[in-house]
Structure 1
Amino acid sequence: MKLAVIPARGGSKRIPRKNIKLFNGKPMIAWSIEAALYSKMFDQVLVSTDDAEIAEVAAQYGAAVPFIRPATLADDLTGTSAVVRHAIDWVTQQQWHAEQGPLDIVACIYATAPLLSAALLQQAMALWAQQPALDYIFSGCRFSFPIQRALYRDANGAVAPVQPDAIGKRSQDLTETFHDAGQFYLGRAQSWSEARPVFSKSSYLFELPQHLVQDIDTLDDWRRAELLHQLILNQVAPPSAKPPKAD
């Protein structure tokens, strides 16, 4: 069975009720649910939440909410991997939809990923078929400026280079760097269960263009994401991901 897990706790601090706050006319989480469902890549799309209202909204948009997540896995310190492992353990122990076969592929899709499309999930799954030995494929993005030329600033406004030996180099002479896009993490169920690290040589970074990536931690982030989302909805087709390099 191929399972999509969408973690969505109720205790968002910086943007209260972020997971179900209306985003371009729909609850935020609805966009992630619909991307997973419309991709037709998953046998089940499961929302893991500790919140009854989120559970109700998720069910309205077609996700399964077969359990309420324990409060011990819904605090500010609990990581995403622990939530995914809990979902895997629950599905396995309860033999949930066992007729669809044992868990094989498990995707973690963030509830706050409205820029993610069904087509991008399909492309990621196609890449997985080419490299099934990977632990994970996750969404990533190129930094817009060389991080080797970053600066520290003290309380008085004085600055110092983070990497003094790189500050004077040309951008094209520095190694390209990437960051986690925070949209999806596609992995083998065994890799999740064994807590194998997502960011390792056994993972593949599925590169997204910068206009499809936006952290949503503040209201300014939210407004920018809505504008990007409106533009994306008017696109004819999403961009294709770069194919992985052959071994």
Structure 2
Amino acid sequence: MTVGYFGIIPARGGSKGVPRKNVRNLAGDPLIVHSIDAADGAQRLNEYIVSTDDEEIRQLSREAGAPAPALRPDELAADETPMEPVAEHALKEFVDVTPETLVLLQPTSPLRGSRHIDEAIERYEETSATSLVAVTEDHSNRWRRTEKGAVRLNYTDGTQRRQKKQPEYVETGAIYITDVASFRDTGDFRAGDTALYVMEDDAAVDINTEFDFWLAEQFLHWNER
């Protein structure tokens, strides 16, 4: 059977910045559950699974109603393991349908909701791109250190006003969409021509530190008001 949009939520048990963050309570639910709820509510996502190396995450995911198959191997659970081989493993070992398009939803983006997933898919369909990444606009004046001091990266004279500066875009990690055939050929979520889906800054928090966790919780409580 062929499905259009197939989602993968990759969740590791280990984490250096925020220990056990995927099972940690965030505004009333484990962090992983926020992405499960978003996937469940997305109208354009046909199916999805949670891929994890951790039994507690697997059980929490199942209790939340998510398909969570057998644990992935330890070699795909290290801090430095990129998401591409995790997705390749999930497609090969756990997916019994033939997906046309892969949607990666990292659980460290708990403010990415169902609406964002649907809008990203709609944006992807509006273009002729083979992949899409979720981004935020950035108007910062950037520098890079050198042996002699530092150099400007994206502006030349003086301090440019935000309103006049051409925006750049920063990946949020919240949503990646790619044509499965292109992904299998390249092993890259950003295969071929890549489109951008611009998210609001307050929906793009990516949890890597305790401050990120605190900030996400503040936004979630604010949205409940």
Q: TM tier, shorter chain?
A: 0.7 to 0.9
Write the distance in 1 (CA, Å) between the matches of 2:155 and 2:38.
44
Could you say what secondary structure the match of 1:194 adopts? helix
Write the distance in 1 (CA, Å) between the matches of 2:17 and 2:7.
26
For structure 2, the residue ranges without an aligned partner over 5 or more in a row are none
Q: For 1:175-218, what per-residue CA distance to the aligned partner results, in whole angstroms no more than 9, with x for missing partners?
A: 32111011011111112212354447611110012122223222
Which letter maps to 2:130?
D
For structure 1, the residue ranges without an aligned partner over 5 or more in a row are 235-247
* Residue 60 to residue 9, structure 1, CA distance change in 2 (3 Å): same
Q: Who is 2:178 aligned against?
A: 187
Which of 125, 129, 141 matches 2:125?
Answer: 129
Q: Who is 1:244 aligned against?
A: none
Q: Who is 1:68 aligned against?
A: 71
Which of 212, 219, 223 matches 2:203?
Answer: 212
- Stretches of 4+ aligned residues off by more than 4 angstroms: none
Which letter maps to 1:125?
I
Could you say what secondary structure the match of 2:56 adopts? helix
Determine whether 1:110 maps to 2:106. Answer: yes
Equivalent residue pairs, number: 221
Determine whether 1:170 maps to 2:173. Answer: no
Could you say what secondary structure the match of 2:91 adopts? helix
Q: Who is 1:232 aligned against?
A: 223
Write the distance in 1 (CA, Å) between the matches of 2:38 and 2:202.
18
Could you say what secondary structure the match of 1:137 adopts? strand
Determine whether 1:19 maps to 2:22. Answer: yes
Write the distance in 2 (CA, Å) between the matches of 1:190 and 1:211.
33
Q: Who is 2:134 aligned against?
A: 139
Shift in Å, 1:51:
0.5
Write the distance in 1 (CA, Å) between the matches of 2:43 and 2:80.
33
Write the distance in 2 (CA, Å) between the matches of 1:118 and 1:164.
34
Could you say what secondary structure the match of 1:103 adopts? strand
More strand by share: 2
- TM-score under structure 2 length normalisation: 0.88
